[in-house]
Structure 1
Amino acid sequence: MALASRVVALGYRVLASLVIFIGIARVSGLFTGSPIWTAFLYFTVLSNVLCLVWMVWSAIATIRDARMAGWQGTSTPSARGAAAVMMAITVTMLIYLVVLVPSSFQQPGAYEPFTLTDNLVHIITPLLVIADWVLFVPKGRLDRFDPLRWTLIPYSYLVLAYGYSGLGGRFAAGTRYPYPFMDVDVHGVGGVAMWIVVLTVALVGVGYGYYALDRRLGGRVRAGVGADAAADGG
């Protein structure tokens, strides 16, 4: 089940790409004379970059398919790839809302959540990518093990972040860890491991929620095709 209009999909994807780019540019200071390159060490920014690349690629695929088959129909580089990207940015949104924002109210400091920049990279980009999947990506293509495979993206980041820190690298303000729940010095190895296990279980649960929605919407499409075929045969 997807909106079969490449005109609408292309317009949406071009606009979404622009909004996502603005968010990345604001959080990394690309619009200033002194970009904050360390911003690209964070999962938030990397997942936004992934979304930008995917959205641009999706727009290109839409143009390609329109030239070959017309402006009616759906286009995506990969239905399963689209879902994986959606889950990666969902991780960003949920960890921000459930973990980082509550901790910001408990810890001293000048950080204020829900600024325009924060909203762009943590909330608006995720919603744009989720809406693209709901509206324009064909359904019923996901494998039942895909939600487990999607964990490879945040786990790869954990390896990258801890490896970078272990080699002496530092994140913003000279911190050893990019996010408070990853701070081994504060929580200990066991505490961090517990955080990761709990978050993994929660996010896999969300992933299977996406999978269930994909199967349900995909089933509606198959049912509709079957009904049309029966009507044509009658």
Structure 2
Amino acid sequence: MTEAVASPSAASALGSPPPGRARLFENAAVNLRPVALVYRVAALAVILTGVIRLSEVLTGQPAWSTFLFYTMLSNLLCLAWMVALLFRTARDLRRTGARGASTPSARGSGAVMFAITVTMLIYLVVLVPTRFADGDSDIFSLTDTLIHVVTPVLMIVDWLLFVPKGAFRWMDPLLWTLLPYAYLGWAFAYGASGGEFTPGQKYPYPFMNIEALGIPGVAQWIVMLSLALIAVGFVYVVLDRILAALARRMPRR
């Protein structure tokens, strides 16, 4: 799906309104590719900064263990998706002009947004209180803030401003959970096979500590977090549909 199409419904799904017909606000997206391009270049730089700081790849002693954590993996996903958004925007700007929205997939943007929302909510709801209780004074450091808060906000804002609305389906929040669940399954298997996320620690996050919480305790945490995150996913779907409906009511000029 790389070419612009003629029908408005298909254009909504692909993210590129028909050339010559795009209004400033089309399908609840800001249809100014130069603005989207500048935003996405800046967002890419910020996301890359967070990844570099977390991995410490420029220090000469990279922290390779950070690549075992969902936080790093979700940030790398955002980095890759932002690169795709950037190239798509530049290509569409060159081929069809300044007016229009550009994304490889509106639903793909939703999936990436949800994946990094998981990172943000688990950090704010689970990790920050736990670290605060343990006396950790380094909460909301620059690196933590970049990877847990700033990157999620950048992806959410990109979807709100530059991605056409109306493509999400009611089943999407359930599909979006497949990536976090895949990570959970891998992390449990990795720890059970003797792998360590940090020296002496066979779990990446406190709510996955079977030795301390027991299987029922871990299962309870996973169920509660799943319900909360799926609820957030449905909020995204409802917002997507509301914005799409509002855009359809805007008079054409």
Q: Distance in 2 between matches of 1:148 and 1:163?
A: 23
Q: Distance in 2 between matches of 1:21 and 1:111?
A: 25
- Structure 1 residue 112: Cα displacement: 2.0
Moved over 2 A (4+): none
- Matched residue, 1:134: 160
- Matched residue, 2:151: 125
* Residue type of the alignment partner of 1:223: R
- Matched residue, 1:209: 235
Q: TM-score, normalised by structure 1?
A: 0.94
- Structure 1 residue 82: Cα displacement: 0.1
- Structure 1 residue 111: Cα displacement: 5.9
State the secondary structure of the residue aligned to 1:173.
coil
1:74 aligns with one of 89, 101, 105 = 101
State the secondary structure of the residue aligned to 1:52.
helix
Unaligned runs of 5+ in 1: none
Q: TM-score, normalised by structure 2?
A: 0.87
* Residue type of the alignment partner of 2:169: D
- Map of 1:36-51 to 2, 5 A cutoff? 36-51=63-78
- Structure 1 residue 66: Cα displacement: 1.4
* Residue type of the alignment partner of 2:182: S
- Matched residue, 1:147: 173
- Map of 1:36-185 to 2, 5 A cutoff? 36-107=63-134, 110=136, 112-185=138-211
- Structure 1 residue 173: Cα displacement: 2.9
Worse overlay, 79-88 or 58-67: 58-67
- Matched residue, 1:223: 249
State the secondary structure of the residue aligned to 1:207.
helix
> Larger % of helix: which?
1
Alignment length (residue pairs): 226
Root mean square deviation of aligned Cα: 1.2
Structure 1 residues 199-228: Cα deviation after superposition (integer angstroms, max 9, x where no partner): 00000111111111000001112222xx43
Q: Distance in 2 between matches of 1:85 and 1:27?
A: 20
